[in-house]
Structures are given as structure tokens and as C-alpha cells.
Amino acid sequence: MTLKLKATVMDEKAIGQALRRITHEIIERNKDIKDLVLVGIRKRGVPLAARLQNYLKEIEGSPVPLGILDITLYRDDLSQREDQPVVHTTDLPFDLNNKHVVVVDDVLYTGRTIRAAMDALIDHGRPATIQLAVLIDRGHRELPIRADYVGKNVPTARSELIEVKVQEVDQVDQVDIMEDLAG
């Protein structure tokens, strides 16, 4: 697959603004953040969740617990993938029962990752609510799932690819739409 940059849809400033706005929306929606926990989906959901955690602390003063979720073992495409994904550790250092859980991921696309994430979370306990925050919603849902907090809606073609880069992993904050030249 040869990929070519089609457009840059978010830069560092836009990403920062979007995450700050999401932070305010989370507070507005949840009022009391006492029972709130953040759960980042590996890989790029984790640094994004950590940033929301920082912003929440700046505004509310008290820290919100942060967990890490690896959904590999809950995927529905394991028997169809040529490349077997590596299983990484899940780390949810808190009791999920009766918590308001905000799941954080970089891109919402088919919804299958979020389905897997919800199954994984429910294996750990019974949250009061599960909410979803994503930096990009690119459409093309295959399951009845929607995000509660969206950084930016980016209409795409299925042949395109959204590439989210974050400082912590990629040394830059940027969201690109890539085109597959072959396709």
C-alpha cells in the first residue's frame, strides 16, 4: 500500500483546543467528577486520555484515575487477520463498579474497537455509565455506536486512512488524511 498525504486536518493547536473543549463537556455532563474514571485504548487513546486527565486536574483540582485498555483479546477479526496483533497489558488500577467511565480513543470508524472495549470493560465490573471520547469521528459505522465527545468530525472515503500522530508516540501532534494511491 502506497500512501500519499491528502490533507492535514488538525495541527497541534487544533488538537489542544479540541481536547480542552472535550474536557469542559465531560465536566458539564458529569457534574460531580468524583466517580469519573478515564480509560485510554491502546495505543493512541492512552496519551490522549492522559492529556484529558491533566486538563481535568487543571480545572477541577482533583485527579481523575486513568486506566489503560488493550482490546486485542476481544477483537472480532482475529481469525481473519493475516498479521496477528501483539497482546499488551491492560491496567485498570481501580474498581469499575458504579463508576462513570470515559473511554478515550483517537479515531472512531467502524465502531468495532469500541464494541470490543465495552465487552472488555464489562468483564472488569459494572460501570454506572460508559461514555466515549474520540479525537476524530470519520464515519462509516458498522455497529450502532456513537461518540459522546468528538474532537472533530472528518468525512472520509473508505479508501482513505486517518493518521493521528501524538507527541508522546510520534513526536508531533497532527492529524492527516492519507490516500491510497494503488486503490
Q: Single out the residue of 24, 34, 88, 158 in contact with another protein (rule: CB under 8 A).
A: 88
Close Cβ partners of 89 (under 8 Å, ≥ 6 residues apart): 68, 70
Instruction: Please report whether residue 81 would count as binding another protein according to CB under 8 A.
Output: yes
- 77/170 with CB nearer another protein: 77
Contact 54, 26 (CB under 8 A): no
Angle between helices 12-30 and 45-60 (to 10 degrees): 60
Rounded to a whole number of angstroms, the minimum distance from the CB of residue 90 to another protein is 6
Rounded to a whole number of angstroms, the minimum distance from the CB of residue 111 to another protein is 17
Instruction: Please report whether residue 16 would count as binding another protein according to CB under 8 A.
Output: no
Q: Single out the residue of 11, 12, 58, 91 in contact with another protein (rule: CB under 8 A).
A: 91
Instruction: Please report whether residue 143 would count as binding another protein according to CB under 8 A.
Output: no
Which residue is it, cell 460531580? 32
Instruction: Please report whether residue 137 would count as binding another protein according to CB under 8 A.
Output: no
Rounded to a whole number of angstroms, the minimum distance from the CB of residue 47 to another protein is 20
Binders in 115-134 for another protein, by CB under 8 A: 119-120, 123-125
Site string for another protein, 26-65 (x = CB under 8 A): ----------------------------------------
Close Cβ partners of 32 (under 8 Å, ≥ 6 residues apart): none
Instruction: Measure CA 134 to chain center.
Output: 5
Residues that bind another protein (CB under 8 A): 70, 73-74, 78-91, 119-120, 123-125
